[in-house]
Amino acid sequence: MPNLKYPIFNYKIAPKNEGSNDMECWIDGDIVSGEEKDFYDSYLGENSLTSFNSFRDSIHASKPTSLKININSAGGSLSEGIAIHDFIKDCIKDGIDVSTYGIGLVASSATLPFLAVEVSKRHLSDNTLMIV
């Protein structure tokens, strides 16, 4: 994965501490299908989109024991949002400690990953706009 100048504005997963299995994930930009993400990545160099496939594959490759998901998205594909929500639920069932953080805007299908965790694991920054 390229080293990005402003990683908070791009989808990526990174270890919180070197050598730990604690992971931090950002979902910024639109939630789109895998085909749309591939097109925008390949032809336009746009890497701020998230698809279920890219999200799932990155989590599986990282094998985290805890996962912090930061969300700043206007939403997008409902089916992809539902799939990400269900995948987060499966991660929790598998013993991964997952928490979500809304930053800026959490709207439409982006609310689904945010709401996938129990209430005590959901956090909104002071100025976050959440639109369901």
pLDDT in tens, 69-116: 999 999 999 999 999 999 999 999 999 999 999 999 999 999 999 999
Q: What is the pLDDT of residue 8?
A: 37
- What is the model's pTM? 0.84
Q: Higher model confidence: residue 13 or residue 79?
A: 79
* Inter-residue contact 30 to 73 (CB < 8 Å): yes
Rounded-to-integer distance, Cα 16 and Cα 25, Å: 10
In our burial notation (b when 16+ CB lie closer than 10 A, e otherwise), range 29-59 reads bbbbbeebbeebeeeeebbbbbbbebbbebb
| Cβ neighbours for 20, distance < 8 A, ≥ 6 positions apart | none
